[in-house]
Chain A
Amino acid sequence: MLNTLRRSFVPAAWLGWQIESNWTDPFLFLVFSVVKPVASVLILVFMYQAVSRAGADAPIYAYIYLGNAFYIYVGAVMAGASYSILDDRERYRSLKYIYIAPVSIPIYLFGRAVARFITGTIAVVITLGAGALFFRVPFNPLTVDWPLFLGALALGIVCLTFMGVLIGTWTMTLRTEPWFVGDAVAAALYLFSGAIFPLTVLPSFLQPIGFALPLTYWLELLRRAVLGPGAAAFPTLAAFSNGQLFGILGGITVVFGLVAFLGYRYFDQVARDNGMIDAQSNF
């Protein structure tokens, strides 16, 4: 187990960081890491300002801002893990060599997600800081329930990485358009996870999808950790205690872990059957 970690996780984390960061100097790297997620939050801030007369004090404003800020992790970790497998296959053409090395591909992908987690964290911190300083978001580090926050964050990141492994190994079986699968799935889940609006806004027949997603419970826990009782303004998950939400998130994470493992085995077989380990999708 330790050997697998040493061989698969540590080099992958190091490699991921090099790939993410070594194309430019640290300042530009920081700017580019932050500009994309911050812009996506600003879209929502301006959408809100364009139509709302309630101002920043309305609960929906903090709901949207925080949900979107933490959703940065979804794009970074889940889409990032899936992206790295394509990076290796298409850009660096090294996937075949990694494949025949004695490494565990899912653990390797966990390692590759570390760099994205770090850059995602920088973006989340800056987004939250900008929210508190410039956009009147009720975020105060002194009142945050840190144990709840860190516990939920850790569990959510593990779950996101499982989802990334699943999507990454799936995209390995695709020849065209695989680059955007991670991003496209992340964007589509935006709709169902209650990230930027309460699930109750969705038509009732779509709401079960949201309740089946771990992101829904994860974002609710993070909001509760940051806002305290203020998070209860929307009744979607108000009936659940923090412990229950943790339990549900943990349970779904285990399920996703299992699905990711089985999915990896299946897609791995499909990819090898179709000769996709060293395929090129360019056209």
Chain B
Amino acid sequence: MTTLVNTRPPDRGWRLFLRTIVARAYPRVVGQQREKAWIFFETFLPFLATVGYIYVYRAMQAPEDYIGFVVMGGAMTAFWLNVMWSMASQLYWEKESGNLALYVMAPNSLMAILLGMALGGMFATTLRAVIITVLGSLLFGIQFQVSSYLQLLVVFVLTMTALYGLGMLLASLFLLWGREAWQISVALQEPIYFLSGFYFPIRSFGFAIAMSASIVPLTLGMDAMRQLVFATGPALGFLPVQVEVAVLLVLAVGFVAAARFWLSYMERRAIEEGTLTDRRR
């Protein structure tokens, strides 16, 4: 036992934050390497579902850019699913397996654990998004007309930041609740696809509903990206891209800050109520 070495003092602060992200991402990355079945379930089957919506538009004889809208929506579902199932709801399983208690008891940050989970699944998520985009574009001859790559990058980064902030907010629900939070995640999936306009321009909602739906970052994120990459995008857009960027910036800052506050508040409440280790299934 005297051989217990200690080359340098343990990291704290941002170094510990980064270490935690990498460590929690590791099982995800390794899991994907060791069990390849996910490629079929996570990329091929969702691609078929996206193609289903493409043929709906074909059956309706819709303009070709709408096919592109569906492909983009199909690709973005990957990120929503990553946030909901690989990050937020994952806390449910961590609680069930006893790992959540060990995560909370350690000096790391729960935000880092959540980011690790999400980033660990990012390879699968990105692959799924890329496959849907590339195959969809090639098979259905989608024409992209990017007006500004820089703006596109800014919109994507802001959308993802806000989305993962929202995911952390949702994750905090799992600290207090188990099955209830799980059912909410299940029930939210299609309503979010609907309200965020994954398969049609949100302008169809009218201003009030579209504005309300913009609380989900993907709503304005996708609308802005469609405006930036499709010829008819600007004509079908909800708000000018600059306005959408500004709102996304507010959402990104707001969700990340709120997630930080809420995670710590919910952790405190969970500790008070004894739900961190409570397995009611």
Contacts and interface: CB of A to CB of B under 8 A. Distances in A.
Direct contact between A and B judged by beta carbons closer than 8 A? yes
28 contacts: A23-B179, A23-B183, A32-B187, A35-B187, A36-B186, A36-B189, A39-B190, A39-B193, A40-B190, A43-B199, A43-B200, A44-B56, A46-B194, A51-B60, A52-B60, A60-B59, A176-B31, A177-B35, A177-B38, A181-B41, A187-B49, A191-B49, A196-B56, A197-B56, A197-B58, A198-B59, A282-B93, A283-B28
Given A198-B59, A280-B97, A50 B201 contact: yes
B62 interface: yes
Given A36-B189, A177-B42, A202-B55, A49 B204 contact: yes
Contact of B199 (A47, A52, A176): A47
Contacts of A52: 60, 62
A174 B48 CA distance: 21
Nearest to B32: A176
Given A47-B200, A51-B57, A176-B31, A23 B41 contact: no
A143 interface: no
Interface in A191-220: 191, 195-198, 201-202
A51 B63 contact: yes
A241 B235 CA distance: 46
Interface residues of B, number: 51
A50 B191 CA distance: 18
B234 interface: no
A255 interface: no
A95 to B, nearest CB: 13
Nearest to B63: A51
Contacts of A201: 55, 58-59
B96 interface: yes
- Classify the secondary structure of A's interface with B: helix
Contacts of B195: 39
Interface in B32-88: 32, 35, 37-38, 41-42, 45-46, 48-49, 51-53, 55-63, 66, 85
* Top-6 shortest CB links A-B: A197-B59, A187-B49, A184-B45, A51-B62, A176-B35, A188-B48
B8 interface: no
A185 B45 contact: yes
Contact of B190 (A37, A51, A191): A37
Nearest to B35: A176
Interface of B: 27-28, 30-32, 35, 37-38, 41-42, 45-46, 48-49, 51-53, 55-63, 66, 85, 93-94, 96-97, 179-180, 183-184, 186-187, 189-191, 193-195, 198-201, 204-205, 281
Given A191-B49, A280-B97, A50 B200 contact: yes
A34 B205 CA distance: 21
A23 B52 contact: no
A175 interface: yes
B51 to A, nearest CB: 5
Given A32-B184, A51-B61, A64-B56, 16 more contacts: A23-B183, A32-B187, A35-B190, A40-B193, A47-B57, A47-B62, A47-B200, A50-B62, A50-B66, A92-B281, A177-B37, A187-B46, A188-B45, A190-B48, A280-B97, A283-B30
